[in-house]
Amino acid sequence: MLRKALGARRRCCGRWRPRATEPVLSTKEGTLRIGVECGGTFTDLAVLDDDGVLRATGKVFSTPSSPDQAVTTGLTGLDPQLREEAVLLHGSTVATNALIERKGARVGLVVTRGFRDVLELQRQDRTSMYDLSYRKPEPLVPRERVVEVTERLDRSGAVLEPLDEDSVRGALSTLAESGVDAVAVSLLHSYAAPAHERRIAEIAAAEFPELVVSLSSDCAREFREYERTTTTTIDAFLRPRISRYLSDLEDSARELGVSELHVMQSNGGMVPARAAGSAPLSMLRSGPAAGVAGAIAVAQNAGIGGIVTMDMGGTSTDVAVVHDGRPELTTEVVADGLPVRVPMVDITAVGAGGGSLVAIDSGGLLTVGPRSAGADPGPVCYGRGGTQPTVTDANVVRGLLRPETFLGGRHTLHTEAARESLRPLAEQLGRSIEQLAEDAFRLASVAMAGAIRVTTTERGHDVESYTLVAYGGAGPLHAATVAEDLGMGRVIIPPHAGLASAYGLLTAGFRREFSFTQLTDLDALPPEGLAPALDNLRATAEEHLREQAIPRHDATFAFSADMRYRGQGFEMPVDLPNAGATTAEEFAEAFHRAHDRRYGHAESGRAVQVVTVRLTVTRPRPALVLPKVDIDPAQPVAVQPIIEGGVALDATFRSRRSLAIGTKQAGPAVLEDGTSTTFVPTGWTAHVDEHTNLVLERS
């Protein structure tokens, strides 16, 4: 039954791989591309042709209980001619939500004898050091579903004890009898030699074909047993559900005329749906990564180098740092308290979105988030059954969101309901409703500014030297206030900012990472250096390209290594230019420079270690002409009161379309379009650049 749900795929080394003939992305001229990004509150659609003409947009409420329903609802609302033979590019939080809600497969774990407690022991670091009631994150696999097999490797991969296949059959039989759907296999030091894990996968495929098997040597071929094991259990936990989700979505999309389905990965690259279904870890930050890709395209189009992205949606705000078109990546991600060791865009999330709940805590202080009203029921002002006030309700009370123009007039807001939802909190704190609404706005903005400080100032970056690119349905409302708190002088609001993540899907190309641990001192490297290790990665990548039907000459290879000073407990990535010919001394010098740039110092006389070598393979999609705002100076202009600084001020309200290129608008002002609303505070000025971006600058 499970195999049927996973569809027609072939099994190799315990992992599902896409058919070799499946195209990575259609390059047929004139093909329409539909970007669909599922957020916590809204699902956004954008249809673009090769000339950058925006053929259609859509924004529908997300359906968390059945995520594919919102996608098909949005597609059904499009003209059938736009769907015919179109390519659907999809980003989603479905994998993240499944992990957080613990709604995945029933998983068993196979480990080396003596390591049954690896998930229970975890690490000694705590997320809340002074919390006396702190509880460790609950493992995905309870101890009773962890089984041991007889085998042992040393750290170099040499066999100390051969794999006992009878113990493997007994372990798999025990798990099958316990009713597991999927099995994670994480053997000691298998990153150095995966043969034992692959043999277990072969036995499972032959004798227990109903089990889905995830191997640690495929999921995270890197050392550190706890992190590698949790990563593998998450893969096994998610794979059946994500495979079914993508399979169902692909079937529904084809019935509506769509020719191909591709999915955004957490690393910012695009892969076919079948490949994504076999590697669900790559989807943990699928939606936020799409937004970063869109922001990068906007910045490159405008000739801007360093940017900080701020994507404020309904449930959270995601921020990232981009240098010269390259987002910072990380392999040190924690999802629902569990470490995940796969490359992802380095995104910091904070529970401050338009749907974040405004409340009073046990100490009598006003709070915003992290709990959210989500898409169902949503903010009180949506009139969908919500009863708890949110940041969106506060913005309605402040006058920043007008009921008749919200979402281009497609959804009317209920101002009085929003006011009444805030009244009990205001009375409890002895404030006016308007003051409470502004305080909630400020708290949300402070939380976002704090997240940006974590990704910039705390990592040695001068935040004031960056441009803030704000998008998402709520991002432009808070952008100038956040920038003011951080000392940033410029904000970019792209065209159709509420659909920026959907546009990001349209700009992304193919990307895939390969890695394995090779822990060694640089001064102990043989004369050939890292060349054999890099050649091994290159061969693996070239095989993958052949399976994906990607010509080798279309792909770009970039090598890097995670390095550290001997004795350090953490590593940092270092690019390896001209990797095949670089000497150990040049590797060390590159690390010293990177360490000094990141931490402000380097120890040139200290021994340097290579921990993990990596290869990133990319294939950019053809340049896409970004859509612009359709200027219409005849759009009406109004003056209405808003709450700013604790008082009512007259603000200019106008459609964003009414601003011609070069036009300036001083604050206080509210600039509206069909997908988002931009607030220009007093002391700030907005103007439209040649790409129809809104540029906000301090006066």
Question: Tens digit of pLDDT for each residue in 681-690?
Answer: 999 999 999 9
Mean pLDDT of 622-633: 76
- Selection from 582, 579, 586 nearest residue 537 by Cα: 579
Tally of domains in the chain: 4
Q: What is the per-residue pLDDT for 4?
A: 31
Residues 94, 17 within the same domain: yes
The 8-class DSSP code of residue 268 comes to S
Where residue 13 falls among pLDDT bands split at 50, 70, 90?
A: very low
| Residue after which a domain boundary falls, among 558, 587, 619 | 619
Statement: residue 659 has pLDDT above 50 = yes
Residues 153, 261 within the same domain: no
Residues ≥6 apart with Cβ < 8 Å to 586: none
Question: pLDDT per residue over 274-303, tens digit each?
Answer: 888 888 998 998 989 999 999 999 999 899
Number of H helices, E strands in the chain: 18, 37
State the Cα torsion 201-203-204-210 to the nearest 10°.
130
Q: What is the per-residue pLDDT for 20?
A: 33
- Which tokens in the block code for residue 359? 């409340």
Statement: residue 483 has pLDDT above 60 = yes
Residues 259, 220 within the same domain: no
- Say if 365 falls within a structural domain: no
Where residue 142 falls among pLDDT bands split at 50, 70, 90?
A: very high
Mean pLDDT of 492-500: 92
Residues 9, 80 within the same domain: yes
Q: What whole-number distance in Å separates Cα of residue 24 and Cα of residue 551?
A: 11
Q: What is the per-residue pLDDT for 226?
A: 95
Q: What is the per-residue pLDDT for 115?
A: 96
Q: What is the per-residue pLDDT for 679?
A: 97
Mean pLDDT of 508-520: 86
Q: What is the per-residue pLDDT for 23?
A: 42
Q: Which of 446-450, 455-459, 627-631 has the highest mean pLDDT?
A: 446-450
Q: What is the per-residue pLDDT for 582?
A: 66
At 309 the three-state DSSP class reads strand
Statement: residue 578 has pLDDT above 70 = no
| Residue after which a domain boundary falls, among 250, 283, 316 | 283
CATH assignment at residue 582: 3.30.1490
| Residue after which a domain boundary falls, among 567, 589, 619 | 619
- Say if 592 falls within a structural domain: yes
Residues 37, 153 within the same domain: no
Q: What is the per-residue pLDDT for 634?
A: 78
- Say if 538 falls within a structural domain: yes
Residues 119, 212 within the same domain: yes
Statement: residue 28 has pLDDT above 70 = no
Residues 590, 679 within the same domain: no
Question: pLDDT per residue over 318-344, tens digit each?
Answer: 999 998 888 988 888 888 889 999 889
Residues ≥6 apart with Cβ < 8 Å to 281: 95, 219, 231, 234, 235, 238, 266, 340, 342
Statement: residue 448 has pLDDT above 80 = yes
- Say if 263 falls within a structural domain: yes
Q: What whole-number distance in Å separates Cα of residue 211 and Cα of residue 221?
A: 22
Instruction: Answer whether 636's CB lies under 8 Å from 655's CB.
Output: yes
CATH assignment at residue 92: 3.30.420.40
- Selection from 28, 145, 31, 13 nearest residue 82 by Cα: 31
What's the mean pLDDT when you consider all of the chain?
A: 88
Question: pLDDT per residue over 356-371, tens digit each?
Answer: 999 999 889 999 988 8
Statement: residue 581 has pLDDT above 70 = no
- Say if 433 falls within a structural domain: no
Residues 550, 578 within the same domain: yes
- Say if 369 falls within a structural domain: no
Residues 217, 118 within the same domain: yes
- Say if 560 falls within a structural domain: yes
* Of 23-37, 473-487, 517-531, minimum mean pLDDT range: 23-37
Q: What is the per-residue pLDDT for 25?
A: 46
Where residue 6 falls among pLDDT bands split at 50, 70, 90?
A: very low
Residues 156, 211 within the same domain: yes
Q: What is the per-residue pLDDT for 42?
A: 83
Residues 600, 665 within the same domain: no
Q: What whole-number distance in Å separates Cα of residue 317 and Cα of residue 476?
A: 12
Statement: residue 505 has pLDDT above 60 = yes
Residues 177, 263 within the same domain: no
Residues ≥6 apart with Cβ < 8 Å to 395: 354, 401, 437, 441, 474, 477
Question: pLDDT per residue over 51-83, tens digit each?
Answer: 767 788 888 888 878 888 999 999 998 888 888
Mean pLDDT of 226-248: 94
Instruction: Answer whether 329's CB lies under 8 Å from 343's CB.
Output: yes
Statement: residue 1 has pLDDT above 60 = no
- Say if 450 falls within a structural domain: no
* Of 36-50, 298-312, 578-592, 668-682, minimum mean pLDDT range: 578-592
Statement: residue 9 has pLDDT above 70 = no
Mean pLDDT of 423-427: 96
Whether cis (ω within 30° of 0) applies to the bond prior to 272 is: no
Q: What is the per-residue pLDDT for 431?
A: 95
Q: What is the per-residue pLDDT for 30?
A: 54
In whole angstroms, how far apart are CA 411 and each of 380, 405, 474, 605, 632?
Answer: 13, 8, 15, 64, 22
Where residue 580 falls among pLDDT bands split at 50, 70, 90?
A: low
User: Could you list the residue range(s) of the whole structural domain that residue 533 is in?
Assistant: 510-619
Statement: residue 517 has pLDDT above 50 = yes
